[in-house]
Chain A
Amino acid sequence: MNQDEFEHFVASVRPRLHALCLRFLARTNGQADAEDLVQETLLRMWTLMKAKLVDNPEAMAIRMAKNLCIDHYRLSSRRHTPVQGVPEEQTTGSNPEQELMARELKERIDAALEELTEAQRRMVRMKGAGMDNGEIAVVCNTSRDCVKSTLCAARRKMMNRLKGGKT
């Protein structure tokens, strides 16, 4: 899958995803922005499509968006704020020392991510997942320059936080 194919896919499926999420949030009085759910869906779709795990991308995107809507609904019902950060797999080490280091790493990264805006956090995640600036721009419906400046600001801010918060 190249960027043109992904861009074409996003252009075709984005309106449907947005309408689906918007309708769900309206019905459930959800506080999230529909665009956030759409971008999260597209990020996951990009990962799956890049790994060539999808036969019918549009149908998969709809299912993915519904899943995310339900996740959001459950989290809202529990009044729990999701923290998107380091994957859980990095917190499990083969021995206690590695596990301790991984936990410490996760806590520091989470603290640094907390200082970012929602858009910055999402772009950092997309970049970490392997997307280039052009693909992020397609998903976020913005320009490459905007992606670059947002990412730059986010990484600088995290660097300062990690240096200052070092124990």
Chain B
Amino acid sequence: MNDMNNKATRMGLVERYLEAETSPEEERLLAGFYNSCKADGLSEEEKAVRLLILGTHGEDAAATLEPSADKEQEYDRLMKTRAVLSVRWKTAITTAAIGLAAAVALALFLPVQPRPESSRPQFSATVPEKTYQPAVSVQTQPTITEVAEGKATTIRMEKREKACPKRESAEQSDKNTLITDIGRLYLWAGELFPDCEKIEMERKGDAMLLTTTRADGSQRFYIMTEDATGKPGIQITALAETDRQSTY
């Protein structure tokens, strides 16, 4: 402490203090000196040094406090609560993500398959029976003599407007493509050959090959084409007849 009364020694130590080169013991020595001396006898420079040392030196009261058990319990409780909430959120988000992924996977791997031609429902199933009216003008079933082999018979469509009014516009715009309307052809064929057990049609270029099978297994073959006169209608020409069923 006696050395500290020497201003030159003291100021040298202060300079080292400001340079942060002093040891804790030297700083305690400075603090002890400035704590015991009066500020009145010091220069302005030293008064500021005194304030600095006394203001920043000394045991930190807060640092010596023992940790509190209550705070430790509060910490554990807070972390536990937050952890539970966090787990719930994570579970909800994970579940939503899994559900979304499953939906996407189903959409990707199970696309709607187009139905093959053979699995199409029968015409009778797609056209309600009540609304169905024959679109052909023939009143009686044609016989094989009427539709003789190589002789064309024309089926006119006088009743079509009344039969299917909802399809009128389609028919008007499709007059020349009646042969492509498989459903309508089946309808006509069903009216034309009501005693046939089976009617088959097969497209052959612009024409349609019609095969009828009766209960006794005999088959008859016809060719169906658009009416050559340009009027809306189908021309049916008998081709051949077999006495037993065979694949054509």
Contact = CB atoms under 8 A, between A and B. Distances in A.
Given A66-B71, A130-B24, A162-B51, 5 more contacts: A43-B60, A44-B65, A60-B67, A105-B51, A128-B58
Interface in A93-114: 105-106, 108-109, 112
B164 interface: no
- Judged by DSSP, the binding face of B is helix
A147 interface: yes
A131 B22 CA distance: 11
A91 B54 CA distance: 12
B20 A133 contact: yes
A132 interface: yes
Given A66-B75, A70-B74, A129-B63, A90 B20 contact: no
Given A152-B19, A159-B48, A159-B52, A24 B79 contact: yes
A86 interface: yes
- The winner among B18, B21, B71 for most chain A CB atoms within 10 A is B71
Nearest to A151: B20
A88 B62 CA distance: 9
A155 interface: yes
Contact of B67 (A64, A89, A106, A150): A64
B225 to A, nearest CB: 82
Interface string B115-135: 000000000000000000000
Interface of A: 23-24, 27-28, 43-44, 47-48, 51, 60, 63-64, 66-67, 69-71, 73, 85-90, 105-106, 108-109, 112, 124-125, 127-133, 147-152, 155-156, 158-159, 162-163, 166
A67 B49 CA distance: 35
Contacts of A108: 51, 55
Contacts of A44: 60, 62-65
B18 A159 contact: yes
B17 A155 contact: yes
Contacts of B24: 127, 130-132
Nearest to A124: B56
Most buried by A among B55, B57, B59, B64: B55
A132 B45 CA distance: 25
A107 B27 CA distance: 22
A27 B64 contact: no
Contacts of A128: 56-58, 60
